[in-house]
Structures are given as structure tokens and as C-alpha cells.
């Protein structure tokens, strides 16, 4: 067990090998002083993350049963509207886990939602007005979830 942990700690990432081919000096600095970004780079990283999130969402549209290490299944629509780790998204996740999962009809609803929501989320990403409307429509649900959750726990 301890050997395996040590091996995992020593493991290198495929992206580190790729970085080595861009600038070895930068790789060494990053290992020595930690990763550092300029403001422009930070923006590029955020942009890249958004692009990858969309790529993943589209993967679920193409094949809902695709194997992924990302926390699956997510709240696609809430993640699109507020962000993956926002308090609102967490509240809706809590609603799913604490209330919907307890009942057959809730579980059925969740299954249908996971099938349909990637397409809806992709639509929302391209239509800011509809996005604002959806946000307004879901806000009472989020408020209700925040109100109900502490009582159910």
C-alpha cells in the first residue's frame, strides 16, 4: 500500500512531458517555485477550461453513456447558469440528493433531466437572453432548495 502511494506521488503527468517540449526552463521553474501565470495567461487558462467544459458537455450529447472521470452526472443547466461550484449549483445538487433520489418519480425525473439537459445547456450558452430568463425562472427553485435542505438533513 505504502509502495503504491509512493509510486503515485512520483508519477508524472502527460502534460508535464508536453510542457517540457515547450520550454524546459519554465518546467523547471514551475517544479521549483510552483505554477505562476501572467494575467493574460490566467485569462487563457480560464478560456481553455470553458472550452474543455463545452467539449465535455457535447460529448454527453453525442453519447450520454460516455465514460468520464469528471463528477458525472452534473447539474448541466445550473453549471451553465451559475458555474460548476457555485452555491446555487450546490443547492440544486443537494435537492437532487436529499429529496429527488428518495422517490421513484424523482429518480425518473433526474434520468430524463440528464438525457435532456446537455442540449438545453448548450442552447443557453449561445443565447444570453434566454439564459437570463432561465436564471430568473430557476432562482425561486434554488431559494426553495436552500430553504428546504437544512430541514431534510
17 touches other proteins (CB under 8 A): yes
The answer to whether 112 touches 55, Cβ cutoff 8 Å, is: no
**Closer by beta carbon to other proteins, 76 or else 91:** 76
144 touches other proteins (CB under 8 A): no
24 touches other proteins (CB under 8 A): yes
38 touches other proteins (CB under 8 A): yes
CA–CA gap between residue 137 and residue 144 (Å, rounded)? 12
Phi, psi angles (nearest 5°) of residue 84 = -65, -35
26 touches other proteins (CB under 8 A): yes
CA distances from 148 to 93, 101, 108, 134, 144 (A): 13, 15, 21, 21, 6
47 touches other proteins (CB under 8 A): yes
CA–CA gap between residue 55 and residue 86 (Å, rounded)? 20
Minimum CB–partner distance for residue 121 and other proteins (Å): 10
87 touches other proteins (CB under 8 A): no
Of 87, 94, 76, 109, whose CA–CA distance to 150 is shortest?
94
60 touches other proteins (CB under 8 A): yes
Q: Record the cell numbers describing residue 5, joined without a space.
A: 502511494
Residue from 21, 85, 105, 150 in contact with other proteins (CB under 8 A):
21
- Give residues in contact with other proteins (CB under 8 A): 4, 7-8, 10-29, 31, 33, 36-38, 40-41, 47-48, 51-52, 55-56, 58-63, 66-70, 116, 118-120, 122-123
Amino acid at each position: 500500500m505504502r509502495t503504491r502511494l509512493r509510486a503515485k506521488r512520483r508519477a508524472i503527468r502527460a502534460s508535464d512531458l508536453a510542457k517540457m517540449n515547450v520550454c524546459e526552463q519554465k518546467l523547471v521553474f514551475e517544479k521549483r517555485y510552483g505554477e505562476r501565470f501572467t494575467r493574460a495567461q490566467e485569462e487563457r487558462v480560464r478560456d481553455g477550461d470553458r472550452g474543455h467544459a463545452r467539449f465535455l458537455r457535447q460529448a454527453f450529447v453525442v453519447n450520454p453513456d460516455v465514460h468520464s472521470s469528471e463528477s458525472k452526472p452534473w447539474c448541466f443547466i445550473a453549471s451553465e447558469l451559475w458555474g460548476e461550484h457555485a452555491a446555487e449549483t450546490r443547492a440544486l445538487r443537494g435537492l437532487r440528493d436529499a429529496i429527488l433520489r428518495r422517490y421513484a418519480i424523482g429518480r425518473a425525473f433526474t434520468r430524463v433531466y440528464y438525457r435532456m439537459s446537455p442540449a438545453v445547456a448548450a442552447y443557453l450558452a449561445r443565447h444570453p437572453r434566454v439564459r437570463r430568463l432561465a436564471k430568473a425562472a430557476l432562482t425561486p427553485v434554488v431559494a426553495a432548495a436552500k430553504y428546504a435542505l437544512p430541514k431534510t438533513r
